[in-house]
Structure 1
Amino acid sequence: MRSKKRTTIYDIAEKLNLNPSSVSRALNNSSSVNDATKKLILKTAKELNYTRNTLASNLRKGHSKTIGVVVPRINQNFFSNVIAGIEDATYKQGYNLIICQSNEQYEKEVQCVNTLINQHVDCIVISVSVETTAHDHLQNVLDHGIQLIQFDRVVDELETLKVTNDNEQSSFDAVSHMITQGYKRIALLEGPQKLNIFRQRKTGYLRALKEHGIAPIADLMIENAWTKELSAAATRQLLSLPEPPDAIFASTSDFSALGVLEVATIMQIKVPQQLGICGYANENFTEITSPSITTIDQFSFYMGKTVANLYFQEMENTDTVVVPKVISIKPKLITRASTTRE
């Protein structure tokens, strides 16, 4: 079936035998069009189901009032809450969002960014994928004169506006908490070290061990355990050691912590008595597992609002050169049953 053609001001002008410019002025409530003609044009527009092309109108004014957002996974609580925070702030300013997900794939991330550039968005907000090592596509955003804001996972080499978490301090707090609960052999499930957030979390882990006089053990640190399946495999490897860990810090995510908990349950290892578990991100399910999972709240909704407000603040800045600015948000450790020994 052929799709119905969108009604334009030219269709209205043709039906009324008027100049298209007169129709345009009437639809914009210009005083140069008399009330009778204006009323007739508005009536005809309604009959023809005319809707204003807001994007085209905004582009003529020099902006699209649209922000593009690229995240690794929309269905993760952290990223969905960031998007919700951005939308909460942008809606009040009359802006729209276009949301894309990279599915943790570099090529798809590049495609998303190029699509948003072609959509003439005013700003692109991005948290890069685990595969992202090059950043030519992000430089391309800047070369097109589009504002670029990085959040959470950022490219350090690219000087842009950034909103991040204090990953090092939050990891330090988590590991220090486990040490005070009596855990001495604390394993670390790491994410890919090419990403800034996972490097920072490892630094916090190592700092906590050092400050409490505990020597790091290479066998207790496993890289690339950033999914539930990978962390489950890593947990089986750790628990098969002659001297297994008595706690595991899943620094990548709560999904990784869930993989640890499932393996412990299958192996009939008591949590937290025999094995402490801490995740990262405060996903909704962490409150309802048995036992509930200690985690780190990144204040993701607030982060999203901070991202949007940073953009609007820069819009009001009269300077022609954007000065790189980094806003760091301090996460909060939420202690639950998985690390709390009686």
Structure 2
Amino acid sequence: MKKVKRTTIYDIAAKLGITASSVSRALNNSNQVNEKTRELIMKTADELNYKRNTLASNLRKGQSKTIGIVVPRINQNFFSNVIAGIEEATYQKGYNLIICQSNELHDKEIQCVNTLINQHVDCIVISVSADGNDYQHLQNVIDHGIQLIQFDRVADELETLKVINDNEQASFEAVSHLIEGGYKRIGLLEGPQNLAIFKQRKLGYLRAFKAYNVPVIDELIVENAWTKELGAAGTRKLLNLPHPPDAIFASTSDFSALGVLEVASAMGIKVPAELGVLGYANESFSEITSPSITTIDQFSFYMGNTVANLFFQELENTDTKTKPKIISIKPELIIRASTSKNK
């Protein structure tokens, strides 16, 4: 198939016998072009199917009007809602989005970031992958003079704009709910401890035990159980102990909690009477499982809105000496059937 040549302002100028600068001025509504000439140029542009190169135009003005987003998984409700929240705010300002996913792979995250740098985006928004803890590629973003905003999963050592959740407090309230509900042996499915969010959630779990004078039992804590499959494997390990837990807090995600439900069902263990199940993130399926899953809502759409508005605020900020803002959003415990032991 023959490639169709893109119409340029030079093609329009050649057809009309005028200069390209006159065409450019007319297309940009300059008052230096009389109305009759402007109408002729616009008509000719339509006839030649001229499409304005918005990126090139914006780059000449020192901006691309484009924001790049890198997330671990696009198909998770949390991340897709954050993207939707960003898009709602940026659309109103005439900005475009380029969305990339790292698939939880550090090398792919680096590739995504480098691609966005080469695209001359005005801002890169990122939630880092679980694979790796070297953030030189994010420092490169800063070195290129591109605004960097981290959300949810962040590299603490980099001083950038951040929008985060109060993960420790959310976990504290979640585990307190289980203890107050009559559960005695509460297991924890934890995520990779190189990520601050999973460290904070574990701290909240431990703080609740201390607050209620409940002893911590190390064998009830399973490392790196942060996917549905790993959550299921961790659950089988816990439920086959001589003294298994009577509740499991899947602190990594509702996907891990779904793995808990599936294993409990296969083993004939009743939820919530014999096993309480608590997840994290309020994924859309958590409300329709049987039983529905108690979880923690991170207000992901609002988080996305906050990220976008933070970027626009910083565009107007001329004070470069202040430390970058860190905005913390308080999650909410959503109590459902999977932890209603006494009912």
Give yes or no for TM over 0.5: yes
- Residue deviations 1:236-259, cap 9 Å, x none? 000000000000000000000000
Query: Aligned residue for 2:257?
Result: 257
CA distance in 2, matches of 1:322, 1:262: 50
CA distance in 2, matches of 1:130, 1:174: 23
Kindly state the Cα deviation for residue 319 of structure 1 after the two structures are TM-superposed.
1.8
CA distance in 2, matches of 1:17, 1:136: 52
Q: How does 1:36-115 map to 2 (within 5 A)?
A: 36-115=36-115
CA distance in 2, matches of 1:151, 1:7: 41
CA distance in 2, matches of 1:60, 1:127: 30
Kindly state the Cα deviation for residue 6 of structure 1 after the two structures are TM-superposed.
1.1
CA distance in 1, matches of 2:90, 2:132: 27
Kindly state the Cα deviation for residue 321 of structure 1 after the two structures are TM-superposed.
4.2
Q: Which letter does structure 2 place at the counterpart of 1:291?
A: P
- Residue deviations 1:86-145, cap 9 Å, x none? 001111111111100000000000000000000000000000000031000000000000
Query: Aligned residue for 1:187?
Result: 187
What root-mean-square deviation, in Å, do the aligned CA atoms of Structure 1 and Structure 2 show? Answer: 0.8
1:308 aligned counterpart, secondary structure: helix
Query: Aligned residue for 1:245?
Result: 245
- Residue deviations 1:207-229, cap 9 Å, x none? 00111111111100011000000
CA distance in 2, matches of 1:75, 1:64: 27
Give the structure-1-normalised TM-score: 0.99
Structure 1 residue 281 corresponds to structure 2 residue 281: yes
Which shifted more, 22-31 or 257-266?
A: 22-31
Distance 1:150 1:256, change over 3 A: same
Q: Which letter does structure 1 place at the counterpart of 2:271?
A: V
> Unaligned 5+ residue runs, structure 2?
none
CA distance in 1, matches of 2:254, 2:186: 17
Q: Which letter does structure 2 place at the counterpart of 1:247?
A: A
CA distance in 1, matches of 2:118, 2:185: 52
Query: Aligned residue for 2:125?
Result: 125
Query: Aligned residue for 1:332?
Result: 332
2:154 aligned counterpart, secondary structure: coil
Q: Which letter does structure 1 place at the counterpart of 2:223?
A: E
Q: Which letter does structure 1 place at the counterpart of 2:95?
A: Y
Q: Which letter does structure 1 place at the counterpart of 2:229?
A: E
1:49 aligned counterpart, secondary structure: coil
1:44 aligned counterpart, secondary structure: helix
Query: Aligned residue for 1:168?
Result: 168
Structure 1 residue 10 corresponds to structure 2 residue 15: no
Kindly state the Cα deviation for residue 320 of structure 1 after the two structures are TM-superposed.
3.4
Query: Aligned residue for 1:320?
Result: 320
Runs of at least 4 residues off by over 2 Å: 320-323
Query: Aligned residue for 1:228?
Result: 228
Which shifted more, 267-276 or 311-320?
A: 311-320
2:286 aligned counterpart, secondary structure: helix
Give the structure-2-normalised TM-score: 0.99
Size of the alignment, in residue pairs?
342
Q: Which letter does structure 2 place at the counterpart of 1:317?
A: N
- Residue deviations 1:166-216, cap 9 Å, x none? 000000000000001100100000000000000000000000011111111
CA distance in 1, matches of 2:171, 2:21: 62
CA distance in 1, matches of 2:75, 2:196: 22
CA distance in 2, matches of 1:45, 1:287: 53
CA distance in 1, matches of 2:111, 2:132: 13
Q: Which letter does structure 1 place at the counterpart of 2:232?
A: A
Kindly state the Cα deviation for residue 9 of structure 1 after the two structures are TM-superposed.
0.3
Kindly state the Cα deviation for residue 322 of structure 1 after the two structures are TM-superposed.
5.8
CA distance in 1, matches of 2:186, 2:317: 47
CA distance in 2, matches of 1:46, 1:231: 58
CA distance in 1, matches of 2:148, 2:193: 24
CA distance in 1, matches of 2:290, 2:125: 36
Kindly state the Cα deviation for residue 323 of structure 1 after the two structures are TM-superposed.
2.2
Identity of aligned residues (%): 76
- Residue deviations 1:19-69, cap 9 Å, x none? 100111111122222222211111110011111111111111111111100
CA distance in 2, matches of 1:254, 1:322: 38
CA distance in 2, matches of 1:190, 1:141: 31
Q: How does 1:140-159 map to 2 (within 5 A)?
A: 140-159=140-159
CA distance in 2, matches of 1:321, 1:84: 32
